[in-house]
A and B are shown apart, each in its own frame.
Chain A
Amino acid sequence: MAASGSLIYRQSGWTRMTHWVWAVSLFFLLLSGLQIFNAFPKLVWGKEAGFEYDNAFLEIGAQDVDGARQGYLDLFGTRYDTTGWLGLQGDTVQAFPAAVTIPSTRNLAFGRIVHFFFAWILVGTLAIWAVASVVNGHLRRDLVPNGADLRKLPGDIADHARLRFHHTRQYNVLQKLAYGGVLFVAFPLIILTGLCMSPSFNAMAPWLLDVFGGRQSARTIHFLTMAALVAFFVVHMLMILAAGPLNELRSIITGWYRIDPEPTPAKEDAQ
């Protein structure tokens, strides 16, 4: 690395605290959510699930093929052999394997308890974060992309593609869009579709059920949003590794971040 720039205080305590609470909550929500999914391992579209007709576009299960048990993933009518991963692991018939469910045994009751506990934590910290971020300016200063950001977008994409990272006080525009996408799109969507699976909540806001196209559609959108958040997590980890994990981790743990040295006029003269 070139000569080090100065350390700046980049992340407020609110941002760091809520970031880590979300990290823990989303971990438990994901794995307990897969436990819940296993009780009805299909994704269907509409108000109800078809039993006498088929409105599923994704199904995970096990079937006998020539006398041998086989796990499968059925996606839009095409069946893939997923033995060992999905549908069947050893002698166990279940959609997602025990390695990615909480608890590791089949236990819908406790999976739901874990899920709803962390759902409250997620929603509570999101509310705290929203208030803090409006008050301390994090939202306006760091997250909402402005005109200059959007003009930098092509260059920023080119820089990321070349794994050339700039360490500045501000998030780059792709960061703003990614974090904004999580905070303003994925989180609200996954919370609202989760609520729409509640028959009690349906009675309070039946119109929201219609927005998502019915309870089963809401369940499907909930699942797909989860998949998008998992994809975000993977990219998030890769970007941290590529951009310098120690500096990135320090900033989200202690708040302090080392920025690139400013190019000085003196340097340019020397060239």
Chain B
Amino acid sequence: MNRRTLLTGASVAALSGCKVLDDARGGTLGAVMASANSLTYRVHRALGGGHTLAPEYTQADIRQGMHPNGSTNPQTADYLALQGNAWADYRLEVGGMVGQTLSLSLADLRAMQAQTQITRHDCVEGWSCIAKWTGVRLGHVLAMAAPQAGARFAVFHCFDAIERGLAGEVLYHESIDMVDATHPQTILAWGVNDEDLPVRNGAPLRVRVERQLGYKMAKYIRRIDLVADFTGLGRERGGYWPDKGYDWFAGI
């Protein structure tokens, strides 16, 4: 092997490098690589424990409105009906593996002890945006519902459909573990930057999961179910984006 073949070999490897894993995604190799996410999840839970707090910022750090992304204007019929009536008929349903199902109006939620936090929203795309969020702790709401011992995840079912498939609208859903669900900074937010949550940011109610990426923080929440696993839920990976191949644990 002389220098020329070495160089040619190296440049061919570099040029074809882009395609080396193109076919791996759906196969065993892709599955092996994706399994690194469960290692990441376990290590983060082991080192971060349950209740390490996401950094909070000051009023001076809020330099712009909350940047909207993903669904910004849901057009499903039931959402439009609620929006048309200024959320007067909105009810947050809490069910699944609970001792007591709940049906809470926005007024009910606002009457509970509110919490405000200025935090940084990190999108999976790479950008960040700092905003002030106001809402009620999810842990507080879940405690009212008396979770059963076997409940492992909180699943958020939403009003928005990002896509319309052959089988109809594919509604957004996401899930978090009970550690994040009961985390002191995990809130059901109805306000952002001292105003009512606007439609583009998830009105009337969205969740803040401050130690994970934006796609975990479901907007336009209709119902919260506590479950033991994801059976029967989409492609059973725990969320709309996880169903599309994104990691379920989005702490990184």
Using a CB–CB cutoff of 8 Å, the interface residues on chain A facing chain B are 27-28, 31, 36-37, 39-40, 42, 47-53, 98-105, 107-110, 112-114, 116-117, 120, 197-204, 206, 209, 215-216, 219, 237, 241, 245
Contacts and interface: CB of A to CB of B under 8 A. Distances in A.
20 contacts: A36-B126, A40-B125, A40-B127, A47-B57, A49-B128, A53-B64, A100-B18, A101-B18, A109-B246, A112-B246, A113-B33, A117-B34, A198-B252, A199-B54, A199-B252, A200-B48, A202-B211, A203-B54, A204-B47, A215-B128
A48 B62 CA distance: 10
A59 B55 CA distance: 27
A200 B63 contact: no
A104 B252 contact: no
A209 B128 CA distance: 13
Contact of B251 (A42, A48, A108, A200): A200
B3 to A, nearest CB: 6
A101 B40 CA distance: 23
Chain A interface, >50% SS class: helix
B19 interface: yes
Chain B interface, DSSP helix/strand/loop, else mixed: loop
A48 to B, nearest CB: 4
B36 A113 contact: yes
A102 B128 contact: no
A51 B67 CA distance: 7
Given A103-B21, A199-B120, A47 B39 contact: no
B30 A110 contact: yes
A205 to B, nearest CB: 9
B128 A47 contact: yes
B245 interface: yes
A47 B124 contact: no
Nearest to A27: B17
A113 B37 contact: yes
